[in-house]
Amino acid sequence: MSAPVIVIGAGLAGLSAARRLIAAGREVVVLEARGRVGGRTEGGQTADGTPVELGGQWVGPTQTRMYELIGELGLQTFPTWNDGQLVVQLGGKQSRMGSQRGAVPKLNPFALADLAQGLARFTRLSSKVSLEEPWRSPGADDLDGQTFETWIRRNLRTGTGRAYFRIACEAVFSAESKDLSALHAAFYAHSGSDLETLLSVDRGAQQDRVVGGSIRISQAMADQLGDRVRLDAVVRTVAHDEQGVRVVLRDGEIVSGSHVIVTLPPTLAGRLDYDPPLPSWRDQLTQRLPAGSVIKLHVVYPEPFWRADGLNGQAASDEGPVKVTFDNTPPSGSPGILVGFMEANDGRRWARRTTEERRDAAVGCLVRYFGPNAAHPVEYLERDWMAEEFSRGCYGAHFTPGVWTAYGEALRQPVGRIHWAGAECSPVWNGYMEGAVRSGEATADDVAALG
């Protein structure tokens, strides 16, 4: 028998890769640093046992591989609650708008026209970015040489229009618009169809959830793999040569294999010791791919009171620290759960505060959006992904200015017997669960073809 393929990381990418390799007749061992599978998806529960998702949770149209995988594993989806109006707060003014795709907030004519032209311009721009080789796209050098904030300032004329794009950036990347390159923003939008799809529930990236929580996907795949998945196996060193790879764990154990697939977030992949060291262009790439900054929180009520008020639990605001919310109530209809996010600079600032202070701030935002009934939750749960030792941020990595054009070719290129996979490596639905699964399976196919 040939030596097994070693997969580092038991998130969606790693488990998908292992599953695909087994199907191709290759043996695998999956090394996971945590005491659980799932990576940047994680399950939790309220005091009464209701499942909640502490990490990634949504699937939507064109995420074909995720829906196929969910079906293969015997799981089901249900729609995110989208009946009623959503709350929009921009420039100190609050309004409500319809939840159907294409709905726009109530703005003055100048702001509305500015927002419309800005969205149209960004959609045209992103549609021209190559998904396989963004650095070869028309105007790539110019776009990659500026931040997304620069693009916003140059192409939006009103404060309201600019605020909309900044909120969108925080919601999609959990980063400030000044943190990432304009080329990356355009590539990412095209990777997930377009910006409107990334932001939408109706026919958008937040359309559906997995019954029982998205963590069940990883758990089901891990169950199929059995004892091939090793938990609490913290990798320290990856030694590689023409004969094979030797992975050294924190406790000194050595695991040998024919090839290794590293599925860690880029910044964590760069923190492993490699012997011999990685080429400079690969190492420098990981130095420039920071993770987003986000605290995900759930606020629990006896029932979803906002529905009776004609609201769908969604809010979008330029005033934080919780600027975006959704209705995360289970299919049964109780308890009522609102999920919100402290993202980008809000997340960075509030990570330094206590849990009680974050709870009070979050509830204050919900009262502002949904009225006095939001003031008395029965439970508060949160996950600070920046503090997670084996994530160090979410939702994914973002490309800072100049990275795509200088280092893009190194993102997926193997280094000897070391191969790379993960949500950040996928041309399609980059940064999402769909991208993680696609990348894991594609990399597994490449390794299996090597014999």
> Residue 161 is part of a domain; what is its CATH number?
1.10.405.10
| Token pair listed for 310 | 């004609």
- Length of the chain, in residues: 451
pTM: 0.97
Total structural domains within the chain: 3
Nearest to residue 285, comparing CAs of 413, 116, 170, 110? 413
CA atoms within 13 Å, Cβ hemisphere of 66: 28
Assess whether 27 and 49 both reside in one domain: no
Tell me the mean pLDDT per 10 residues along the chain, length 451: 88 98 97 98 97 98 98 98 95 87 76 95 98 98 98 97 96 98 98 96 97 98 98 98 96 97 96 97 97 98 98 97 98 97 98 98 98 98 97 96 98 98 98 98 97 76
- Residue 319 falls inside a structural domain: yes
Nearest to residue 317, comparing CAs of 381, 379, 367? 367
- Strand 336-343 and strand 208-210: the pairing is unpaired
Assess whether 190 and 120 both reside in one domain: yes
Assess whether 107 and 194 both reside in one domain: yes
- Residue 238 falls inside a structural domain: yes
| Secondary structure of residue 255 in the 3-state scheme | strand
- Residue 410 falls inside a structural domain: no
Q: What is the pLDDT of residue 99?
A: 80
CA–CA dist 101, 199 (Å, integer): 10
Q: What is the pLDDT of residue 103?
A: 65
Nearest to residue 30, comparing CAs of 6, 66, 57? 6
Assess whether 188 and 106 both reside in one domain: yes
Assess whether 121 and 146 both reside in one domain: yes
- Residue 123 falls inside a structural domain: yes
Assess whether 270 and 301 both reside in one domain: no
Phi, psi of 384, rounded to the nearest 5 degrees: -90, 100
Q: What residue numbers bound the domain in which 31 lies?
A: 5-40+214-278+415-449
CB 237 within 8 A of CB 248: yes
- Residue 90 falls inside a structural domain: no
Q: What is the pLDDT of residue 106?
A: 75
CATH number at residue 437: 3.50.50.60
